[in-house]
């Protein structure tokens, strides 16, 4: 909970009084490795904060899984599109390690928005940050080649190869496993 408060404080400074309102709205949940937080086609009514563990956000295209996003400690997760639009989720979210999270429901979030402009601001800033992530992700596909995307990923998450299986990383980059191996070999020879 302290970590969460710090995280929210980095978005906007919150008083003890604000925290007393916020804190009881979060629900603790432990998730075992390989368990699903969300299944594609279901509704996503909560966002979650990762205390511990690693998650992948993926969808299935022509029988093949495509990884869209990874979440680690200190990240906020959700199918935010389903959360916002109330439409079925286009992604599944699965734990890749034993994990612990704090969840916050849409109803709680809307109640917060109506309590104080400060919470409305938190909602705005979370949406802005998600916008920046989604836009970068889209631009990377339009503007970068797989090698550039690979270099960006390991710069952002230097430990990713210790925590995420290779085939999920390849899928995230939009390439096949052998192409990823070739990129890694080529770069290690440089």
Query: What are the residues binding its own copies (CB under 8 A)?
Result: 59, 61, 66, 68, 80-81, 84-85, 90, 113, 116-117, 120-121, 123-124, 127-128, 130-132, 134-135, 137-143, 174
**Nearer Cβ to its own copies, position 31 or 173?**
173
Q: Which residues pair with 29 in a beta bridge?
A: 101
Phi and psi angles of residue 65, each rounded to the nearest 5 degrees, phi first: -75, 140
Nearest distance, CB of residue 187 and its own copies, angstroms:
20
Distance of closest approach, residue 108 Cβ to its own copies, in angstroms: 16
**CB-wise, 107 or 128, nearer to its own copies?**
128
Q: How many Å apart are CA 123 and CA 127, to the nearest integer? A: 6
CB of 125 to its own copies, least distance (A): 8
Nearer to its own copies (CB atom), residue 139 or residue 166: 139
Quote the least distance from Cβ 129 to its own copies, whole Å: 9
Q: Buried (b) or exposed (e) across 52-84, using 16+ Cβ within 10 A?
A: ebbbbbbeeeeeeeebbbbbbeeebbbbbebbe
Q: In angstroms, give the least distance from the CB of 40 to its own copies.
A: 12
Cα–Cα dist 140/29, whole Å = 33
CA distance 171 to 173: 5
Do 125 and 76 meet the contact criterion of CB atoms below 8 Å apart? no
Measuring CA to CA, how many Å separate 51 from each of 1, 8, 27, 76, 135? 9, 13, 12, 10, 26
Q: Nearer to its own copies by C-beta: 50 or 57?
A: 57
C-beta closer to its own copies: residue 124 or 176: 124
């Amino acid at each position: 909970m302290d970590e969460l408060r710090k995280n929210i404080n980095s978005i906007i400074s919150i008083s003890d009084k604000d925290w007393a309102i916020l804190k009881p709205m979060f629900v603790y949940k432990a998730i075992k490795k390989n368990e699903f937080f969300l299944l594609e086609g279901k509704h996503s009514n909560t966002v979650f904060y990762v205390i511990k563990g690693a998650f992948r956000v993926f969808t299935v295209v022509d029988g093949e899984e495509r990884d869209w996003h990874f979440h680690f400690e200190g990240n906020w997760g959700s199918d935010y599109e389903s959360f916002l639009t109330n439409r079925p989720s286009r992604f599944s979210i699965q734990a890749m390690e034993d994990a612990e999270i704090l969840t916050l429901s849409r109803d709680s979030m809307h109640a917060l928005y109506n309590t104080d402009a400060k919470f409305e601001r938190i909602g705005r800033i979370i949406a802005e940050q998600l916008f920046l992530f989604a836009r970068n992700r889209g631009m990377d596909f339009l503007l970068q080649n797989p090698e550039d995307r690979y270099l960006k990923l390991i710069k952002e998450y230097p430990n990713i190869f210790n925590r995420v299986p290779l085939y999920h990383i390849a899928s995230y980059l939009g390439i096949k496993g052998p192409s990823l191996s070739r990129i890694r070999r080529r770069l290690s020879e440089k």
